[in-house]
Amino acid sequence: MIGTVQRILRPKSVDELLSTLAELQGPRHLLAGGTDILVKAKDGKVAPGTWIDVWPLDELRGVTAHDDRIDLGANVTMTDVERSPLLRAEARALWDACYEAGAVQIRNRATLGGNVANASPAGDSIPALYSLGATVHLRSVRGERAVPIEALFTGPGKTVIAPDEAIVRLSLPRVRGAVGAFLRLGQRKAQAISKVSAAATATLGADLTVEAARVALGAVAPTVVRAPEVERLLAGRALEPGLMAEAGELAASGVTPITDVRSTKVYRREMVAVVVRRALASLVDRRRG
Amino acid sequence: MSEIDVGLEVNGEQVRARCQPHDTLLALLRYRLGLTGTKEGCGEGECGACTVFMDGEAVDSCLVLAAQCEGRQVTTIEGLGRGWPDGLHPVQKAFMETGAVQCGFCIPGIIMSAADAITRRSDAAREEVRRLVAGNLCRCTGYTKIFDAIELARDRVARGEVRPEA
Amino acid sequence: MPGSGPTYPLATMPPDDPTPTPTHTVGQRLERLDARAKVLGTARYADDLTFPGLLHLKVVFSTQPHARVLAIRTDAARRAPGVRAVLTAKDCPGENLIPLVLPDLTLMAADRVRFVGDPVAAVVADTPEAAHDAARLVEVDYEPLPAVFDVLEALRPGAPVVAPPISGPAGHGGANTAPNLFNLLEVKKGDLAAGFEAADVVVEQEYRTPYQAHAYLETQGMTCVPEPDGVFAVYGCMQCPFYVHEAVARVLGVPRHRVKVIQVGTGGGFGGKEDVPSIIAGLAALGAWHTGRPVKLVLSRKEDFETMSKRHPALVRLKVGAKEDGTLTALEEQLWLDGGAYATLSPVVLYRAVTHAAGPYRWPAVHVTGHAVATNKVPCGAFRGFGTLQVIFALESILDELAERLGIDPLDLRLKNAVRVGDALGTNQALTESVGFIETLERAAEVSGYREKRERYRTWQEGPKRRGVGLGCLLYGVGLGAKGKFIDRTGAHVQLYPDGSCAVSIGNAEMGQGLRTVISQIAAEELGLEFSKVQTFDGDTSRVPDSGPTVASRATVMAGNAVRDACGQIRRELRAEAGLMLGVEPDALEVFQTWVRVKAAPERRVAMNDVIARAAHARRALTASGFRLPADTWWSDDEGQGKAYEVYTYATNVCEVEVDVETGESRVIALTAAHDIGRAINPTLAEGQIEGGALQGLGFALTEEVHIDQGVIKNPRFATYIIPTAMDSPELKAVIVEHPYSGGPYGAKGIGEPPIMGIAPAVTNAIKAATGARLFECPATPERVTEAMKAQGVAARDEVAV
C-alpha cells in the first residue's frame, strides 16, 4: 500500500478526468468506492502510480430511464441499485446480484463501473450485466465508444479499456416483460465471494415459451462467460422442469473451472447445472408473479 | 510522495489534518485525530470494525482514502450519541442492557451499522436485521444478544420512548 | 495416592459463615462493568495506546518451511530512512527463548527456521511505514532443508527432524524423547480385549479435523516502554500476563522485578492470546531495550493468520464396541495431533485430548494412545477446547454410527451410558459430585424438541432441502488439571474503602468473557455491598499476585475463590465491629445482603455501610490478600490413569440442520446447548459464552479451515478464512443446568471452553440424519457433503434412508 499511491488527483469534471488521463505518463488507477482496488493495493498487487479519484464526479451518478434503455452511471453504487424500484422491476438479475453482494458498507461504496473495471470472474454484477445485454460506454479525449460487456474482458483483471479511457456509463436495453434472476453459491451467507454464479434474463411467452434468453456464468472461467449453447437450447421452447435440468447439464458440460481456496473444479462444474436450473426456475416463478 | 492537507467535518467539528496520500480514513481518524474508537480488524473491508458514517452512509473506513474525505461529513462512534439522552444512542444503550458486548473490539463498528439499520429500516424483522449487520464480524457473541439489542433499540425508537434531546 | 509429582496441601479457607440465600448479586443478570466504555468506543486496546517517542516494529518472517539460515543481511535496512534498529537472534541480551512447556521456542530463529512465519529479524523505525519498507530490505540467505508436513510421515524413521529430542521440567507433560514426537500419552482402563470380546457390535473408523484460527477481531499487539527507573513496562492484549512477564524478563536477561506487564483491553482471546503474546512482547521489549524508546508491535491480519498459533489438526482412529442393548464395552483410540514447528503447548493439549477421549460415558475398558507431532508448519497451541474438539468429533460421530447399527436412538444410547455420581470416567477417575450430564441430555432434548423432530424428519421429505437433528455431547475438566497444577494458583487483593466502596485486583485477565464483572459480583456478595460499589481492576503484574493463566475455564472458580478468601478476612473484621454495634458476639452475626444481622434475631441488624464506616474509623484491617490452590489432582503416566481434573462441566448440543442435497449446503436452523456449569454467577454472561462458543463451533463444523500448501497458508485473510457472519448465526438457545460444585464459588464450575465443544458432531450427525451421508472430516463444506453423498451412494433425489 505504502508507495502505491504516489499522488492522488481529484478532477472536478469528466472532461478534466479525460484530459488528465490523456496527459498522464505511467501507471494510473481510477479510484471510485475503493472496495476492490484498495484491497489489492494493500496486498501489494497494484503498481505504484497516480491515483485518480472519480467518486466525486456526480456526472457519473444516476439511473436514467429512456424509452429503449436504462442508463447507469459508472458511479452508481450497489446500494443505488438495491434502492431502485425501476431496476428491481426491469433489471432483476442485476438487482439480485447487488442485493446479495458484500455487505451494507461495501454496497454503499462499490460502484458498477468499478466492479466492471475490476474484471473479476467472480464479480457479482458482471454475469447479471451479461444477461441483461449491457453495453459499456468508454470515453476518452478521442471520443466515446460502446463495447458490449462480453467483449470487454480479456482475462482475470484484464479488459480492453485503454489507459486514457474511463467507463462513463452502462446501458441496458429495455425489454418489455423480461424477467431475470441471479443466483450464486458462496462460502457463507453474506460477505462471500461467489464460488459459482449464474444470471439469466429472458422474455417468456404466456405458455412460458422462451422468446429470447441470455444466460451467463461467473467464477467458472478466466472471465464471466455466456452460455450460448444453453441459450440456443432454450430458444422457442417452453421452460418446463425437464428443459431446465437439461439446460443446467448443458451449461455444466461447457465449463472447465479450477480448484482454489474457495472450492473445487468438480464441485463448481456440478453446481453450474444446479444454479442454471434454479435461475431458470426462478424466471418461471417471477413470470407467474 | 508529498503530504496532503485534508479538511472535513468529524462529529460536527471542522478539522484539518496532514496526511500521506495512501492514508485511509481509518488512519486519519485513529492516528491523526486520536479517535481510536474506530477499530481496524482486517484492513480490507471484511470485518466492519472500522465502520463510520460518511455523508450519512455506513462505510468501511479502511477502504476510503483520507484524500477522498475533503469536504465530507464523518460520524464515528465517538459522535454517535451526540444529542441523545446521557450521550448514548439508543443502540448503544440497548447493547449495554442486553449483554450484547463481550470483548468489545467489534462493537463500535457493529453499533454504527445497527444505528444505520434501525434508522433506515425501522420495521426490519430479525432476518433483515441480520442482513443489515452482516458486514460486521463478531467472534465472541454468536450475535444472538446483538440482534436482541438492535430490536430493543428499534422498538424503543419506533414507539417514541427515546428521542434525541437536541 | 499414586501421583507422579509432589503433592500439594489444599488451601483451607472455609468462609467464616455460609453465604445466605437469596444472594443479592450472585446469580443476577447484572450489566457488565465495561459495557459503557465499550459501546462508547472509549475502551482502550493495544493499538489505541500511544507514548511519547513511540517507535514501531516490523517483523521479518521466514519464507521457508525448513532451512538453515546462512546469513541475515541487514545493512540496507539499517540505512533506510527512519530506521533505528535492525535486530536478530544474536541481539537478545538474555535468552533467545519463550519459556513454555518445553524449552524449544525461540524468540527469533537463530540458525534454522522451522516454518514459514518463524521470526528471523525485527526492524524498529520511526513510523510503521518506515519499518515496513525497511523490513523488505532485510535479506536472508537460506539453505533449504527437507521438510515434513504430515504427522505420520514425521514419525517415520529417516523423516526430516523438525524437533530434536529435548527435555522439559519434570512433570510438565513429559518430554519428547524421539525426533518429532513432542509427547506420547496413554489412557488405560480395564481389559480391552475382554471389552471387545463382550461386544455384539464393533465399529471402527478414521476421522480428521482441521486447523482452526482464533480469528479474534483484534490482532496481537504489544508496546514496551522503558521507564526511567530501569523497569520495562509492557502493555498489550493477552490472557496470561505472567507468561509475558517471565518471557520478557528472560529475553532481556533482567530480574523479574524489572518488568511489569499491564493487560489492556483484549479484543478476543479464545486461547490465541495464551502463549504467543510472549513472542510479540518479547520482540517489542527487545526493540525498547536497544533503542531506549517505547516500541509498539501490532500484527496485520495477514501476519496474524500466517504466524500465530492455531487449533491442532488431528487424525483419530477410533474403535468402539457395545452390547446389543447399547451397553458400551470398550474404546480404543489412536490420536495424532499436528503440533507444527515448536512444542509450545502441544504436550498439555495432548493431555487434555487423551483424558477427554472417552467422553462422559461409562466404559469398562479404554485404551487411548495420543501423539503430539512436530511438522514444518505453523505451531499449534491453545484454542478454546484445547485438544478436545478433535476427540469429541470422533467419539460423538462413532456413537451415532453405533446407535444406527444397534437400532437405538442416539439420545437413548447416550442416556444409557451417561456418567452419574459414583461412576468412573475413561481415566478411571471416580466422580463424586456435580455430575449433571443426564440433565443436560434431557433438557437439551426437551427444549429443542429432539424426539418429535427426529420422528418427523425420519419420514420422506420432499424437495432438495432435507432436515435432520443431531447430538453432540461432552465433558470438560475445569482448570489446569494434574499436568498443569504446577502453575495452578490464584491470588486476589481486596481493599474496602471507608465510604463503602471496594477495589478488587486479580491476576487473571478480562478478555470479553466478563471476568471482572463476575468477580465484582462475588466480592459484593461476600462483603454485603451493592454491585455498583465494587470495581475490579485489570491486571498489572507489579500489583497483583501471579494467578496462572486465564485459560481452561478456570478463572471464575480460581479467582472467585481467592476473592472469597480475601473477603472472608475482611468480613471477620466487619462482624467484630458490628458485634460492638449490636452488643452481641461476632459469631452470632451474619452478613445478609447489605446488612449485618443477628442470626437468631434477623430483625436486629445494622447497615453494612455503617459498619464499614465505623470499622474504618476504628482502623480495622479492611484490606486483604486472598490466595488459593486448586483441589488436588494427579496423573500417572505409567498407569495411564488418574484424577485428571478436579471437576467437570457437562453439556449436550442439539443441532437442527437443513441440507440442500443438490448443493450440499447446510443451514443450521437451530442449536440448543444445555450446559451444567454448577452455578451461573451471571446468567447473561454465561449465556453469552454459550452462544458465542456455539457459533465458533459452527464455524469449525461448517466453514473454517486453513489451507496449507508446502507450509504456506493459502487463505490468511478474512475474505478466505470463513467465519460465520450475522447471516450465518442460527437461533441459539442456551440452557443453563446447575449441579453445584462444592469447591467452586457459590457452586460454580467453568463455562469458557465447553460451548465450542461437541458442536461439530452435532452438525454432522444432523447432516447424516438429513441426507444419509456421514462425514468423517470437518468442516462439512458443500464440497465434502456432496462428495460424501456420492461416495456413500446417497443420491440427491432418492428417498433418504434413516
What 3-state DSSP class applies to A168?
strand
Neighbours of A157 (CB within 10 A): 16
Q: Tell whether the model's pLDDT for residue C15 goes beyond 70.
A: no
**pLDDT single digits (tens) A130-181:** 999 999 999 999 999 999 999 999 999 999 999 999 999 999 999 999 999 9
Mean pLDDT of A241-256: 97
Q: Tell whether the model's pLDDT for residue C263 goes beyond 50.
A: yes
At C13, is the pLDDT very low, low, confident or very high (cuts 50, 70, 90)?
very low
Residue B65 CA to residue B22 CA, distance in Å, equals: 7
The helices-and-strands tally (H runs, E runs) of chain C is 19, 30
Mean pLDDT of A17-21: 98
**pLDDT single digits (tens) C414-447:** 999 999 999 999 999 999 999 999 999 999 999 9
* A277: nearest CA partner in chain C: C662
| Radius of gyration (C-alpha) of chain C in whole angstroms | 27
The answer to whether the Cβ–Cβ distance between A188 and C720 falls below 8 Å is no
The helices-and-strands tally (H runs, E runs) of chain A is 11, 14
**pLDDT single digits (tens) B75-118:** 999 999 999 999 999 999 999 999 999 999 999 999 999 999 99
**pLDDT single digits (tens) C80-113:** 999 999 999 999 999 999 998 888 999 999 999 9
At B2, is the pLDDT very low, low, confident or very high (cuts 50, 70, 90)?
confident
Nearest to B102 among C31, C688, C719 (CB): C688
How distant is the Cα of B70 from the closest Cα of chain C, in angstroms? 23
Q: Tell the burial category of A73 from Cβ atoms under 10 Å away from its Cβ (0-12, 13-18, 19+).
A: buried
State the virtual CA torsion across A232, A234, A236, A240 in degrees, nearest 10: 170
Residue C737 CA to residue C728 CA, distance in Å, equals: 27
At C460, is the pLDDT very low, low, confident or very high (cuts 50, 70, 90)?
low
Neighbours of C252 (CB within 10 A): 21
- Where do the CATH 3.30.465.10 domains begin and end in chain A? 59-173
What 3-state DSSP class applies to C473?
strand
Residue A159 CA to residue A119 CA, distance in Å, equals: 7
C-alpha cell, C756? 465450542
Listed in sequence order, the residues at least 6 apart from C340 whose beta carbon sits closer than 8 Å to its beta carbon are C115, C309, C310, C374, C375, C377, C378, C379, C380
DSSP notation for C195-256 = HHHH-SEEEEEEEEE--B----SSPPEEEEEE-TTS-EEEEE--S-HHHHHHHHHHHHT--G
The CA-to-CA distance between both ends of chain A, in Å, stands at: 49
B150/C contact by beta carbon, under 8 A: no
The answer to whether the Cβ–Cβ distance between A5 and B65 falls below 8 Å is yes
The answer to whether the Cβ–Cβ distance between A261 and C715 falls below 8 Å is yes
Q: Tell me the chain A residues in contact with residue C703 when contact means C-beta distances shorter than 8 Å.
A: 187-188
Residue C515 CA to residue B138 CA, distance in Å, equals: 19
What part of B 73-112 touches A (C-beta under 8 Å)?
none
According to CATH, the superfamily of the domain at B4-80 is Beta-grasp domain (3.10.20.30)
**pLDDT single digits (tens) C216-227:** 999 999 999 999
C-alpha cell, A267? 464441485
C-alpha C340, offset from chain centre? 19
C720/A contact by beta carbon, under 8 A: yes
DSSP notation for C691-713 = HHHHHHHHHHHHT----EETTEE
Predicted local distance difference test score (pLDDT) of residue B1? 60
Q: Tell me the chain B residues in contact with residue C266 when contact means C-beta distances shorter than 8 Å.
A: 103
* C683: nearest CA partner in chain B: B99
* CATH 3.30.365.10 for the C489-629 domain, yes or no: yes
Q: What is the crossing angle of helices C555-582 and C515-527, to 10°?
A: 20
Domain boundaries, chain C: 46-145+220-298, 314-482+636-791, 489-629
DSSP notation for C505-541 = EESS--SSS-HHHHHHHHHHHHHT--GGGEEEEPPBT
Q: Tell whether the model's pLDDT for residue B57 goes beyond 90.
A: yes
* C36: nearest CA partner in chain B: B96
Nearest to A106 among B2, B131, B135 (CB): B135
Residue in A39, A96, A105 to test binding to B, most B beta-carbons within 10 Å: A105
Mean pLDDT of A89-108: 97
The answer to whether the Cβ–Cβ distance between C665 and A263 falls below 8 Å is no
What part of B 103-122 touches C (C-beta under 8 Å)?
103-108, 111
Contact C649, C754 (CB under 8 A): yes
Residue C444: how many CA atoms within 13 Å on its side-chain side? 32
The answer to whether the Cβ–Cβ distance between A109 and B24 falls below 8 Å is no
Nearest to C31 among B97, B138, B139 (CB): B97
At B165, is the pLDDT very low, low, confident or very high (cuts 50, 70, 90)?
confident
Q: Which residues does residue A144 pair with via DSSP β-bridges, in sequence order?
A: A139
Q: Tell whether the model's pLDDT for residue C118 goes beyond 60.
A: yes
C-alpha cell, A206? 404466456
Has this prediction a pTM greater than 0.80?
Answer: yes
Helices within C334-436 (DSSP H only) = 346-356, 388-406, 410-417
Nearest to C703 among A39, A188, A190 (CB): A188
Residue B34 CA to residue C593 CA, distance in Å, equals: 44
Q: Please give the CATH number for the structural domain made up of C46-145+220-298.
A: 3.90.1170.50
Q: Tell whether the model's pLDDT for residue C8 goes beyond 80.
A: no
Residue C787: how many CA atoms within 13 Å on its side-chain side? 16
C-alpha cell, A130? 451479461
Q: Which residues does residue C373 pair with via DSSP β-bridges, in sequence order?
A: C181, C338
The answer to whether the Cβ–Cβ distance between B136 and C726 falls below 8 Å is yes
Q: Tell whether the model's pLDDT for residue C729 goes beyond 90.
A: yes
The answer to whether the Cβ–Cβ distance between C714 and A261 falls below 8 Å is yes
Residue C514 CA to residue C35 CA, distance in Å, equals: 10
Nearest to C727 among A189, A270, A271 (CB): A189
Nearest to A187 among C663, C707, C722 (CB): C722
Residues on A contacting C at a C-beta cutoff of 8 Å: 2-3, 39, 103, 185, 187-193, 261-264, 266-267, 270-271, 274
At C1, is the pLDDT very low, low, confident or very high (cuts 50, 70, 90)?
very low
In this prediction, the answer to ipTM > 0.95 reads yes
How distant is the Cα of A188 from the closest Cα of chain C, in angstroms? 7
Q: Return the closest-CA partner of residue C289 out of C256, C251, C262, C261.
A: C251
Contact A117, A161 (CB under 8 A): yes
Q: In percent, how much of chain B has pLDDT > 90? A: 94
**pLDDT single digits (tens) C268-298:** 999 999 999 999 999 999 999 999 999 999 9
DSSP notation for A110-156 = -BHHHHHHHT-TT-THHHHHHHTT-EEEEEETTEEEEEEGGGTEEET
The answer to whether the Cβ–Cβ distance between C35 and B41 falls below 8 Å is no
**pLDDT single digits (tens) A56-69:** 999 999 999 999 99
Predicted local distance difference test score (pLDDT) of residue C799? 45
Predicted local distance difference test score (pLDDT) of residue C440? 98
Mean pLDDT of C621-641: 95
The answer to whether the Cβ–Cβ distance between A185 and C786 falls below 8 Å is no
**pLDDT single digits (tens) C743-780:** 999 999 999 999 999 999 999 999 999 999 999 999 99
State the virtual CA torsion across A102, A107, A113, A114 in degrees, nearest 10: -50
Q: Which residues does residue C595 pair with via DSSP β-bridges, in sequence order?
A: C592, C607
How distant is the Cα of A37 from the closest Cα of chain C, in angstroms? 15
**pLDDT single digits (tens) C299-322:** 999 999 999 999 999 999 999 999
DSSP notation for C278-342 = HHHHHHHHHHHHHHSS-EEEE--HHHHHHHS-BBPPEEEEEEEEE-TTS-EEEEEEEEEEEEESS
The answer to whether the Cβ–Cβ distance between A103 and B57 falls below 8 Å is no
Edge to edge, the sheet with strand C314-322 lists C181-189, C365-374, C328-340, C314-322, C201-209
Mean pLDDT of C42-61: 98
- Where do the CATH 3.30.390.50 domains begin and end in chain A? 178-288
Contact C653, C471 (CB under 8 A): yes
Q: Tell me the chain A residues in contact with residue C782 when contact means C-beta distances shorter than 8 Å.
A: 185, 267
| Touching chains, C (3+ CB pairs < 8 A) | A, B
* C127: nearest CA partner in chain A: A2
Are B4-80 and B85-158 in the same CATH fold?
A: no
* CATH 3.20.19.10 for the B85-158 domain, yes or no: no
Residue A119 CA to residue A133 CA, distance in Å, equals: 17
B68/A contact by beta carbon, under 8 A: yes
Q: Tell whether the model's pLDDT for residue C719 goes beyond 80.
A: yes
Residue C225 CA to residue C794 CA, distance in Å, equals: 62
How distant is the Cα of C778 from the closest Cα of chain A, in angstroms? 14
Q: Which residues does residue C476 pair with via DSSP β-bridges, in sequence order?
A: C649
How distant is the Cα of B114 from the closest Cα of chain C, in angstroms? 12
Mean residue pLDDT of chain C comes to: 94
Contact C719, C782 (CB under 8 A): no
**pLDDT single digits (tens) C548-565:** 999 988 999 999 999 999
Residue A245 CA to residue A239 CA, distance in Å, equals: 10
Are C46-145+220-298 and C314-482+636-791 in the same CATH fold?
A: no
3-class secondary structure per residue, chain B: CCCEEEEEEECCEEEEEEECCCCEHHHHHHHHCCCCCCCCCCCCCCCCCCEEEECCEEEEHHHCEHHHHCCCEEECHHHHCCCCHHHCCHHHHHHHHHCCCCCCCCHHHHHHHHHHHHHHCCCCCHHHHHHHCCCCCCCCCCCHHHHHHHHHHHHHHHCCCCCCCC
Q: Tell me the chain A residues in contact with residue B44 when contact means C-beta distances shorter than 8 Å.
A: 38-39, 42-43
Q: Tell me the chain A residues in contact with residue B68 when contact means C-beta distances shorter than 8 Å.
A: 31, 34, 53, 55-56
DSSP notation for C479-508 = SS-TTTGGG--EEEEEEE-TTS-EEEEESS
C38/A contact by beta carbon, under 8 A: no
Mean pLDDT of A263-285: 98
Nearest to B116 among A1, A39, A104 (CB): A104
3-class secondary structure per residue, C578-640: HHHHHCCCHHHEEEECCEEEECCCCCCEEEHHHHHHHHHHCCCCCEEEEEECCCCCEEECCCC
DSSP notation for C146-169 = -----HHHHTSTT---SS--B--S
**pLDDT single digits (tens) C464-505:** 999 999 999 999 999 999 999 889 999 999 999 999 999 999
Predicted local distance difference test score (pLDDT) of residue C174? 55
Residue C450 CA to residue C456 CA, distance in Å, equals: 10
Domain boundaries, chain B: 4-80, 85-158
The answer to whether the Cβ–Cβ distance between B139 and C727 falls below 8 Å is no
Neighbours of C428 (CB within 10 A): 18
**pLDDT single digits (tens) B26-37:** 999 999 999 999
Q: Return the closest-CA partner of residue C190 out of C368, C35, C12.
A: C368
Residue in A75, A104, A109, A191 to test binding to B, most B beta-carbons within 10 Å: A104
Q: Return the closest-CA partner of residue C694 out of C721, C734, C658, C659.
A: C734
How distant is the Cα of B82 from the closest Cα of chain A, in angstroms? 22
The answer to whether the Cβ–Cβ distance between B137 and C688 falls below 8 Å is no
- Determine which of A109-113, B4-8, B154-158, C795-799 has the lowest per-residue pLDDT on average: C795-799
Q: Tell whether the model's pLDDT for residue C462 goes beyond 70.
A: yes
Q: In percent, how much of chain C has pLDDT > 90? A: 91
Q: Please give the CATH number for the structural domain made up of A59-173.
A: 3.30.465.10
The answer to whether the Cβ–Cβ distance between C782 and A267 falls below 8 Å is yes
At C539, is the pLDDT very low, low, confident or very high (cuts 50, 70, 90)?
confident
Edge to edge, the sheet with strand B13-19 lists B13-19, B4-10, B73-75, B51-54, B57-60
B56/A contact by beta carbon, under 8 A: no
Q: Tell whether the model's pLDDT for residue C73 goes beyond 80.
A: yes
* B97: nearest CA partner in chain C: C31
Mean residue pLDDT of chain A comes to: 97
State the virtual CA torsion across B61, B66, B69, B70 in degrees, nearest 10: 170
The answer to whether the Cβ–Cβ distance between B45 and A108 falls below 8 Å is no
Residue C668 DSSP code: E
What 3-state DSSP class applies to A50?
strand
Nearest to A188 among C129, C722, C786 (CB): C722
CATH of C314-482+636-791, one of 3.30.365.10, 2.40.40.20, 3.60.21.10, 2.70.98.10: 3.30.365.10
Fold of A178-288: Enolase-like; domain 1 (3.30.390)
